[in-house]
């Protein structure tokens, strides 16, 4: 069995797209999807218990609810990890994935990621691409020593290290720093996942959600994203809202 942990809340558009992308996954073995919804009103109703054959849906609603100005990512990841380990034996968990609600995942994402695990405790794709659908701008990052959190999966054996990162704003960077390369497979495939920015609702905390800090390039004609993810680019067309300047 593999486990997916998705912190969310106040992001119905994001979670609706995430639901669509997870429904399209080609991975056929057992999946437990833990969704941690920390906003009122909750927006995770779009995902039902009978979501997919061989998928178990578990929802958590941590207190206190998120409010503007607070970063609850670490708290929500902690809730997800604790829920997983409370309900399942470590021996039954092959891998834990952090699936962020606003990012793009190819249909083969889970299947291909699992193929990268042999002999490793942690896997992640590097050279992460961020694409802001509101501005239609993109950037190819040069991250080679760590993977962005939404592209990370790990064995239960390293949960104790992951737990040490909850207080950090950039959990992914700290996680790979603590691992120091031991048991880590950082790879670049075909951009199995893409960091999507600029969707409506509660804002994200990472780079690319706001102007400045990254050298974005224009894609006003939508050619780059279409070439990158094919027909799935249509999912994001309606979110274009500005000149991107």
Whole-angstrom distance, CA of residue 150 vs CA of residue 187: 14
Q: How confident is the model at residue 71 (pLDDT cuts 50, 70, 90)?
A: confident
Whole-angstrom distance, CA of residue 160 vs CA of residue 197: 30
Which of 12, 94, 71 minimizes the C-alpha distance to 46? 12
Give yes or no for residue 244 having a pLDDT over 60: no
Model confidence pLDDT, tens digit, residues 109-159: 999 999 999 999 999 999 999 999 999 999 999 999 999 999 999 999 999
The CA angle 12-106-58, to the nearest 5 degrees, is 50
pLDDT of residue 245: 38
3 state DSSP class of 117: coil
Burial class (CB within 10 angstroms; exposed 0-12, middle 13-18, buried 19+) of 54: exposed
pLDDT of residue 23: 98
pLDDT of residue 68: 79
Whole-angstrom distance, CA of residue 192 vs CA of residue 125: 8
Look-up: residue for tokens 């889970």?
Answer: 110
Which tokens sit at 9? 């809340």
Orientation of helix 73-87 relative to helix 171-179, angle to 10°:
60
Model confidence pLDDT, tens digit, residues 179-222: 999 999 999 989 999 999 999 987 766 665 555 567 899 999 99
Span 27-51, mean pLDDT?
Answer: 95
Span 22-44, mean pLDDT?
Answer: 96
Model confidence pLDDT, tens digit, residues 20-29: 999 999 999 9
3 state DSSP class of 124: strand
The per-residue pLDDT of the chain, averaged, comes to 93
Give yes or no for residue 164 having a pLDDT over 70: yes
Its pTM stands at 0.94
Give yes or no for residue 6 having a pLDDT over 90: yes
Q: What CATH number is given for 2-239 in this structure?
A: 3.90.550.10
* Residue extents of the structural domains in the chain: 2-239
């Amino acid at each position: 069995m593999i486990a997916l942990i998705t912190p969310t809340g106040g992001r119905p558009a994001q979670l609706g797209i995430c639901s669509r992308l997870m429904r399209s996954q080609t991975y056929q073995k057992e999946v437990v999807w833990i969704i941690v919804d920390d906003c009122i009103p909750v927006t995770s109703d779009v995902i039902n218990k009978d979501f997919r054959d061989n998928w178990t849906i578990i929802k958590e609603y941590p207190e206190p609810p998120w409010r503007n100005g607070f970063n609850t990512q670490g708290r929500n990841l902690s809730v997800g990890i604790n829920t997983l380990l409370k309900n399942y034996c470590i021996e039954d968990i092959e891998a834990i994935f952090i699936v962020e609600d606003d990012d793009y995942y190819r249909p083969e994402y889970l299947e291909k990621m699992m193929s990268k695990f042999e002999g490793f405790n942690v896997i992640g794709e590097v050279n992460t691409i961020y694409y802001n659908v509101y501005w239609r701008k993109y950037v190819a990052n040069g991250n080679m020593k760590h993977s962005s959190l939404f592209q990370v999966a790990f064995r239960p054996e390293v949960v104790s290290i992951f737990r040490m990162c909850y207080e950090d704003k950039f959990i992914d960077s700290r996680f790979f720093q603590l691992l120091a390369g031991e048991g880590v497979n950082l790879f670049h495939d075909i951009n199995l996942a893409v960091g999507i920015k600029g969707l409506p609702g509660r804002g994200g905390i990472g780079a690319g959600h706001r102007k400045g800090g990254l050298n974005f390039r224009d894609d006003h004609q939508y050619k780059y994203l279409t070439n990158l993810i094919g027909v799935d680019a249509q999912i994001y067309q309606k979110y274009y809202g500005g000149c991107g300047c």
